[in-house]
Amino acid sequence: MSEHRVLYLMRHASADSWGILGDAFRSLTPAGRAEAEYIGEQLADSGIQHVVVSTSARTRQTVANLGLGVDVEPNPHLYGAGSGTVLDIVRELDPDLTSVLVVGHAPSIPALVHLLADPESDAGALDLVSTHFPAATCCRFEFDGTWADLASARLTTTYRTRLPQKP
């Protein structure tokens, strides 16, 4: 029997510029910590059971500032991954989990959002990420089936801390 599943895909919050230690060690800015806290408030009653996070400093700090209080699994393959690798990681999730958050990087997270969004996706949620996917953006997907069979899903909600700029 297939189960209803919920997948959240999130880009890390705003981080410092590259420093002498390199990209993987970039920390969140004060604004980035506030962004993550805000998104965490939006996700507080989401039912997320598990978080998979890149091993970079900024993604781990994003998860810490979300304050979800759930199991966190650092995955070194998320750092520098393409969208296909991120999807493979999702497909290998524990089948007993029904609601998972993946926190990673651009361009892989935005690319996977667009790859997964099926025709039943909420137009407003998709519009919010159609041309720009700022830091701390989080997209919620629903689908029926197993993680292993995930190929497309309905984008239901986009959580953002910043609205798109008007031309």
Terminal Cα-to-Cα distance of the chain (whole angstroms): 48
Peptide bond into 76 cis (omega under 30): no
Instruction: Write the secondary structure of 96-152 as one string of H (helix), E (strand) and C (coil).
Output: CCCEEEEEECCCHHHHHHHHHECCCCCHHHHHCCCCCCCCCCEEEEEEEECHHHCCC
Beta bridge partners of 144: 4
Q: Rounded CA gap, 99 and 106, in Å?
A: 22
Domains of the chain and CATH, by start: 3-159 (3.40.50.1240)
Q: Specify the pLDDT at position 161.
A: 86
Give Cα 81 distance to the centre of its chain: 13
| Cα–Cα distance, 85 to 87 (Å, whole number) | 5
The pLDDT tens digits along the chain (167 residues) read: 469 999 999 999 989 786 666 667 778 899 999 999 999 999 999 999 999 999 999 999 999 999 999 999 999 999 999 999 999 999 999 999 999 999 999 999 999 999 999 999 999 999 999 988 999 999 999 999 999 999 999 999 999 986 444 44
Q: How far apart, in whole angstroms, are the C-alpha atoms of residue 94 and residue 115?
A: 22
Tokens coding 86:
């991120």
**pTM, rounded to two decimals:** 0.93
CA dist 51 and 84 (Å) reads 18
Check if the beta carbon of residue 100 is closer than 8 Å to that of residue 8. Answer: yes
Query: 9 and 114 in contact (C-beta within 8 Å)?
Result: no
User: How confident is the model at residue 22, as a pLDDT?
Assistant: 67
